[in-house]
Amino acid sequence: MSYVLNGGPRKVAAETAERIHQAVAQLGYSPNAAARALNLGVIETMGLIIHDITNPYYNSIAATVQRAAEQHGVSLITASTLEDRSKTLSHLEAMEARQLRGVIVTTHMFPEAVRAATRMRTRIVQLDSLDPIPGVPRFDMDFEAGSWLALDHLTGLGHRRIAFVGGQSPVDVRIGPWRESHRRRGVDPGPLRVVPYTREGGYEGMRDILADEVPTSVFAGSDLIAMGVLRALREAGLRVPEDVSVVGYDDIPESEFAAPPLTTVRVPIEKMARDAVEAVLDPTAISDSDHISAPALIVRASTAAPRRTP
Protein backbone atom coordinates (compact mmCIF):
# COMPACT_ATOMS: atom_id res chain seq x y z
CA MET A 1 0.00 0.00 0.00
CA SER A 2 2.84 2.43 0.69
CA TYR A 3 3.63 2.03 -2.98
CA VAL A 4 0.40 3.61 -4.03
CA LEU A 5 0.79 6.43 -1.55
CA ASN A 6 4.37 7.05 -2.52
CA GLY A 7 3.56 6.91 -6.21
CA GLY A 8 6.39 4.44 -6.74
CA PRO A 9 7.24 2.79 -10.05
CA ARG A 10 4.21 0.47 -10.10
CA LYS A 11 1.24 1.88 -11.96
CA VAL A 12 -2.11 1.69 -10.28
CA ALA A 13 -5.47 1.64 -12.04
CA ALA A 14 -7.62 4.67 -11.33
CA GLU A 15 -10.30 2.59 -9.65
CA THR A 16 -7.81 0.94 -7.34
CA ALA A 17 -6.28 4.29 -6.50
CA GLU A 18 -9.72 5.63 -5.62
CA ARG A 19 -10.36 2.71 -3.26
CA ILE A 20 -6.98 3.24 -1.66
CA HIS A 21 -7.69 6.92 -1.22
CA GLN A 22 -10.88 6.11 0.63
CA ALA A 23 -9.09 3.64 2.87
CA VAL A 24 -6.33 6.15 3.46
CA ALA A 25 -8.83 8.85 4.39
CA GLN A 26 -10.47 6.48 6.87
CA LEU A 27 -7.11 5.73 8.43
CA GLY A 28 -6.65 9.40 9.14
CA TYR A 29 -4.07 10.25 6.51
CA SER A 30 -4.45 13.61 4.84
CA PRO A 31 -6.25 12.83 1.56
CA ASN A 32 -4.85 16.00 -0.02
CA ALA A 33 -1.28 14.94 0.62
CA ALA A 34 -1.94 11.43 -0.60
CA ALA A 35 -3.65 12.70 -3.75
CA ARG A 36 -0.86 15.13 -4.43
CA ALA A 37 1.75 12.41 -3.98
CA LEU A 38 -0.12 10.24 -6.48
CA ASN A 39 -0.29 13.05 -9.01
CA LEU A 40 3.35 13.99 -8.72
CA GLY A 41 4.53 10.42 -9.05
CA VAL A 42 7.11 11.13 -6.38
CA ILE A 43 6.47 11.29 -2.68
CA GLU A 44 6.12 14.80 -1.32
CA THR A 45 8.84 16.06 0.96
CA MET A 46 9.08 18.55 3.77
CA GLY A 47 12.22 19.87 5.42
CA LEU A 48 13.55 20.14 8.95
CA ILE A 49 16.48 22.32 10.00
CA ILE A 50 18.10 21.24 13.25
CA HIS A 51 20.87 22.70 15.34
CA ASP A 52 23.12 19.67 15.56
CA ILE A 53 22.61 16.20 14.09
CA THR A 54 24.94 14.68 16.71
CA ASN A 55 22.72 15.94 19.56
CA PRO A 56 20.23 13.21 20.59
CA TYR A 57 17.65 15.79 21.60
CA TYR A 58 17.40 17.02 17.99
CA ASN A 59 17.52 13.44 16.69
CA SER A 60 14.45 12.64 18.77
CA ILE A 61 12.73 15.69 17.30
CA ALA A 62 13.72 14.59 13.78
CA ALA A 63 12.39 11.05 14.26
CA THR A 64 9.14 12.35 15.75
CA VAL A 65 8.64 14.93 12.99
CA GLN A 66 9.35 12.24 10.39
CA ARG A 67 6.77 9.84 11.84
CA ALA A 68 4.18 12.62 11.96
CA ALA A 69 4.94 13.69 8.36
CA GLU A 70 4.76 10.11 7.09
CA GLN A 71 1.31 9.81 8.67
CA HIS A 72 0.35 12.45 6.09
CA GLY A 73 2.16 10.63 3.27
CA VAL A 74 4.98 13.19 3.27
CA SER A 75 8.64 12.27 3.67
CA LEU A 76 11.20 14.31 5.59
CA ILE A 77 14.67 15.58 4.79
CA THR A 78 16.81 17.06 7.51
CA ALA A 79 19.59 19.66 7.36
CA SER A 80 21.84 20.40 10.31
CA THR A 81 23.67 23.64 11.03
CA LEU A 82 26.24 21.74 13.13
CA GLU A 83 25.81 24.48 15.73
CA ASP A 84 26.63 27.26 13.26
CA ARG A 85 23.59 29.55 13.33
CA SER A 86 24.67 31.33 10.17
CA LYS A 87 23.90 28.19 8.12
CA THR A 88 20.17 28.39 8.83
CA LEU A 89 19.68 30.91 6.03
CA SER A 90 21.46 28.91 3.31
CA HIS A 91 19.58 25.76 4.34
CA LEU A 92 16.30 27.70 4.11
CA GLU A 93 17.23 29.03 0.68
CA ALA A 94 18.21 25.58 -0.59
CA MET A 95 14.90 24.15 0.63
CA GLU A 96 12.94 27.08 -0.88
CA ALA A 97 14.67 26.47 -4.22
CA ARG A 98 13.69 22.79 -4.15
CA GLN A 99 10.02 23.61 -3.55
CA LEU A 100 9.50 21.51 -0.50
CA ARG A 101 6.04 21.27 1.00
CA GLY A 102 7.25 23.31 3.97
CA VAL A 103 10.08 23.63 6.46
CA ILE A 104 10.24 23.27 10.24
CA VAL A 105 13.04 25.32 11.79
CA THR A 106 14.42 24.42 15.22
CA THR A 107 17.54 26.58 15.08
CA HIS A 108 18.19 30.03 16.41
CA MET A 109 18.25 32.58 13.63
CA PHE A 110 20.16 35.73 12.89
CA PRO A 111 17.94 38.77 12.07
CA GLU A 112 19.02 38.44 8.45
CA ALA A 113 17.58 34.90 8.25
CA VAL A 114 14.39 36.03 10.00
CA ARG A 115 13.92 38.80 7.39
CA ALA A 116 14.61 36.39 4.50
CA ALA A 117 12.20 33.83 5.94
CA THR A 118 9.32 36.31 5.98
CA ARG A 119 9.74 36.81 2.22
CA MET A 120 9.80 33.10 1.26
CA ARG A 121 6.94 31.29 -0.44
CA THR A 122 7.72 28.06 1.40
CA ARG A 123 5.57 27.49 4.47
CA ILE A 124 7.78 27.85 7.55
CA VAL A 125 7.01 26.74 11.10
CA GLN A 126 9.23 27.18 14.17
CA LEU A 127 9.73 24.43 16.73
CA ASP A 128 11.77 24.99 19.88
CA SER A 129 13.33 27.96 18.10
CA LEU A 130 14.07 31.32 19.67
CA ASP A 131 14.07 34.47 17.49
CA PRO A 132 10.42 34.43 16.32
CA ILE A 133 9.69 35.00 12.65
CA PRO A 134 6.70 37.38 12.38
CA GLY A 135 3.52 35.69 11.12
CA VAL A 136 4.92 32.19 11.55
CA PRO A 137 3.44 29.59 13.94
CA ARG A 138 5.86 28.76 16.71
CA PHE A 139 5.83 25.67 18.95
CA ASP A 140 7.87 25.97 22.06
CA MET A 141 7.99 24.68 25.58
CA ASP A 142 7.80 26.58 28.83
CA PHE A 143 11.49 26.56 29.81
CA GLU A 144 10.77 28.57 32.91
CA ALA A 145 8.15 26.13 34.19
CA GLY A 146 10.50 23.22 33.41
CA SER A 147 13.31 24.85 35.34
CA TRP A 148 11.06 25.35 38.36
CA LEU A 149 10.10 21.66 38.28
CA ALA A 150 13.78 20.72 38.56
CA LEU A 151 14.63 23.38 41.17
CA ASP A 152 11.57 22.75 43.37
CA HIS A 153 12.29 19.01 43.26
CA LEU A 154 15.80 19.63 44.64
CA THR A 155 14.76 22.17 47.27
CA GLY A 156 11.85 19.91 48.26
CA LEU A 157 14.43 17.19 48.99
CA GLY A 158 16.25 19.65 51.28
CA HIS A 159 19.00 20.97 49.00
CA ARG A 160 19.86 24.63 49.60
CA ARG A 161 22.69 25.84 47.33
CA ILE A 162 22.26 24.28 43.89
CA ALA A 163 25.06 24.28 41.30
CA PHE A 164 24.14 25.11 37.71
CA VAL A 165 26.02 23.77 34.67
CA GLY A 166 24.21 25.16 31.66
CA GLY A 167 24.55 25.99 28.03
CA GLN A 168 25.48 29.03 26.03
CA SER A 169 23.07 29.63 23.20
CA PRO A 170 23.34 32.62 23.57
CA VAL A 171 22.22 32.49 27.20
CA ASP A 172 20.58 29.55 28.98
CA VAL A 173 17.01 30.56 29.82
CA ARG A 174 17.21 28.26 32.85
CA ILE A 175 19.62 30.61 34.63
CA GLY A 176 16.84 33.08 35.53
CA PRO A 177 14.72 30.60 37.55
CA TRP A 178 17.90 29.16 39.10
CA ARG A 179 18.91 32.60 40.42
CA GLU A 180 15.37 33.39 41.50
CA SER A 181 15.05 30.10 43.42
CA HIS A 182 18.03 31.06 45.59
CA ARG A 183 16.86 34.66 45.99
CA ARG A 184 13.39 33.66 47.20
CA ARG A 185 14.91 31.34 49.78
CA GLY A 186 17.43 33.98 50.92
CA VAL A 187 20.36 31.70 49.99
CA ASP A 188 23.53 32.61 48.07
CA PRO A 189 23.43 30.96 44.60
CA GLY A 190 25.51 27.80 44.14
CA PRO A 191 28.42 27.72 41.68
CA LEU A 192 27.60 28.49 38.04
CA ARG A 193 29.42 27.25 34.93
CA VAL A 194 28.39 28.15 31.36
CA VAL A 195 29.54 25.44 28.94
CA PRO A 196 28.72 24.08 25.45
CA TYR A 197 25.66 21.79 25.23
CA THR A 198 27.83 18.66 25.08
CA ARG A 199 28.94 15.78 27.30
CA GLU A 200 32.43 17.28 27.23
CA GLY A 201 31.06 20.67 28.28
CA GLY A 202 29.30 19.16 31.30
CA TYR A 203 32.40 17.16 32.22
CA GLU A 204 34.71 20.19 32.15
CA GLY A 205 32.19 22.42 33.92
CA MET A 206 31.70 19.94 36.77
CA ARG A 207 35.43 19.29 37.15
CA ASP A 208 35.92 23.02 37.41
CA ILE A 209 33.29 23.29 40.17
CA LEU A 210 34.78 20.33 42.06
CA ALA A 211 38.16 22.05 42.13
CA ASP A 212 36.52 24.66 44.42
CA GLU A 213 33.77 22.81 46.29
CA VAL A 214 31.50 19.77 46.34
CA PRO A 215 27.88 20.94 45.98
CA THR A 216 25.09 18.68 47.28
CA SER A 217 23.11 19.10 44.05
CA VAL A 218 23.56 20.08 40.40
CA PHE A 219 20.99 21.31 37.86
CA ALA A 220 22.27 20.63 34.33
CA GLY A 221 20.96 22.68 31.39
CA SER A 222 20.56 19.53 29.28
CA ASP A 223 20.78 15.77 29.71
CA LEU A 224 23.85 15.74 27.46
CA ILE A 225 25.56 18.14 29.87
CA ALA A 226 24.35 15.94 32.77
CA MET A 227 26.15 12.92 31.20
CA GLY A 228 29.41 14.83 31.53
CA VAL A 229 28.53 15.95 35.07
CA LEU A 230 27.93 12.31 36.08
CA ARG A 231 31.28 11.27 34.63
CA ALA A 232 33.17 14.03 36.48
CA LEU A 233 31.49 13.07 39.77
CA ARG A 234 32.25 9.37 39.18
CA GLU A 235 35.92 10.10 38.47
CA ALA A 236 36.11 12.20 41.65
CA GLY A 237 34.88 9.19 43.63
CA LEU A 238 31.57 10.89 44.48
CA ARG A 239 28.38 8.82 44.54
CA VAL A 240 25.13 9.94 42.88
CA PRO A 241 22.71 10.55 44.60
CA GLU A 242 24.32 9.74 48.01
CA ASP A 243 26.94 12.51 47.78
CA VAL A 244 25.55 14.69 44.98
CA SER A 245 22.09 14.85 43.37
CA VAL A 246 21.88 15.62 39.62
CA VAL A 247 18.87 16.78 37.57
CA GLY A 248 19.01 17.08 33.78
CA TYR A 249 16.75 18.58 31.12
CA ASP A 250 15.25 17.05 27.91
CA ASP A 251 14.87 13.33 28.76
CA ILE A 252 16.96 12.02 25.86
CA PRO A 253 16.95 8.22 25.39
CA GLU A 254 20.35 7.60 27.00
CA SER A 255 19.29 9.25 30.29
CA GLU A 256 17.37 6.16 31.36
CA PHE A 257 20.55 4.10 30.77
CA ALA A 258 22.86 6.42 32.71
CA ALA A 259 24.52 5.33 35.97
CA PRO A 260 22.39 6.10 37.86
CA PRO A 261 19.29 6.65 35.68
CA LEU A 262 18.84 10.42 35.44
CA THR A 263 16.09 12.50 37.01
CA THR A 264 15.19 15.04 34.35
CA VAL A 265 12.61 17.36 32.81
CA ARG A 266 10.75 15.81 29.90
CA VAL A 267 9.98 18.01 26.94
CA PRO A 268 6.67 17.03 25.27
CA ILE A 269 8.39 16.54 21.92
CA GLU A 270 5.75 14.14 20.55
CA LYS A 271 2.88 16.57 20.75
CA MET A 272 4.95 19.60 19.70
CA ALA A 273 6.30 17.79 16.64
CA ARG A 274 2.87 16.50 15.58
CA ASP A 275 1.38 19.98 15.90
CA ALA A 276 4.26 21.56 13.98
CA VAL A 277 3.85 19.07 11.12
CA GLU A 278 0.10 19.76 11.10
CA ALA A 279 0.83 23.48 10.92
CA VAL A 280 3.07 22.92 7.88
CA LEU A 281 0.72 20.64 5.97
CA ASP A 282 -2.61 22.20 6.88
CA PRO A 283 -2.11 25.94 7.49
CA THR A 284 -5.78 26.42 8.37
CA ALA A 285 -5.66 23.86 11.20
CA ILE A 286 -3.29 25.74 13.48
CA SER A 287 -3.24 29.44 14.30
CA ASP A 288 -0.18 31.51 13.37
CA SER A 289 0.76 32.25 16.94
CA ASP A 290 2.85 30.89 19.78
CA HIS A 291 1.95 27.46 21.14
CA ILE A 292 3.71 26.78 24.44
CA SER A 293 3.75 23.25 25.89
CA ALA A 294 4.20 22.31 29.54
CA PRO A 295 7.12 20.03 30.53
CA ALA A 296 7.02 17.26 33.16
CA LEU A 297 9.44 16.08 35.84
CA ILE A 298 10.70 12.49 35.46
CA VAL A 299 12.09 11.28 38.79
CA ARG A 300 14.67 8.49 38.49
CA ALA A 301 17.60 7.52 40.71
CA SER A 302 19.98 10.50 40.47
CA THR A 303 18.31 12.63 43.16
CA ALA A 304 17.87 12.17 46.91
CA ALA A 305 17.89 14.18 50.14
CA PRO A 306 21.34 15.60 50.98
CA ARG A 307 23.33 13.62 53.56
CA ARG A 308 25.71 16.47 54.27
CA THR A 309 24.79 19.94 55.53
CA PRO A 310 23.55 21.47 52.32
Closer of 73 and 177 to its own copies (Cβ): 73
Closer of 51 and 138 to its own copies (Cβ): 51
Angle between helices 56-71 and 269-281 (to 10 degrees): 50
Q: Is 176 helix (H, G, I), strand (E, B) or coil?
A: helix
Q: How far is the CB of 240 from its own copies (least distance, A)?
A: 10
Q: Are 281 and 252 in contact (CB under 8 A)?
A: no
- 144 vs 295: CA distance, rounded Å: 10
Burial code of 194-222, b = ≥16 C-beta within 10 A, e = fewer? bbbbbbebbbbbbbebbeeeebbbbbbbb
Closer of 113 and 149 to its own copies (Cβ): 113
Q: Is the dihedral of CA 146, 150, 155, 161 positive or negative?
A: negative
Q: How far is the CB of 158 from its own copies (least distance, A)?
A: 26
Residue 202's Cα: distance from chain center in Å? 18
Where does this chain bind its own copies (CB under 8 A)?
2, 6, 8-9, 42-43, 45, 47, 52-54, 56, 59-60, 62-63, 66-67, 75-80, 82, 86-87, 89-91, 93-94, 97-98, 116, 199, 203, 227-228, 230-231, 234, 253-254, 256-259
Instruction: Tell how strand 217-220 and strand 245-247 pair up.
Output: parallel
Q: How far is the CB of 79 from its own copies (least distance, A)?
A: 5
Q: How far is the CB of 63 from its own copies (least distance, A)?
A: 5
Closer of 49 and 175 to its own copies (Cβ): 49
Closer of 87 and 207 to its own copies (Cβ): 87
Q: Are 205 and 265 in contact (CB under 8 A)?
A: no
Q: How far is the CB of 254 from its own copies (least distance, A)?
A: 6
Residue 13's Cα: distance from chain center in Å? 43
Closer of 2 and 309 to its own copies (Cβ): 2
Q: How far is the CB of 3 from its own copies (least distance, A)?
A: 9
Q: Is 218 helix (H, G, I), strand (E, B) or coil?
A: strand
Closer of 2 and 26 to its own copies (Cβ): 2
Q: How far is the CB of 156 from its own copies (least distance, A)?
A: 27
Residue 198: strand pairing partners: none
- 97 vs 86: CA distance, rounded Å: 18
What 3 state SS string does 91-144 have? HHHHHHHCCCCCEEECCCCCHHHHHHHHHCCCCEEEECCCCCCCCCCEEEECHH
Closer of 89 and 244 to its own copies (Cβ): 89
Torsion of CA 37, 40, 44, 45, to 10 degrees: 180
Q: How far is the CB of 108 from its own copies (least distance, A)?
A: 17
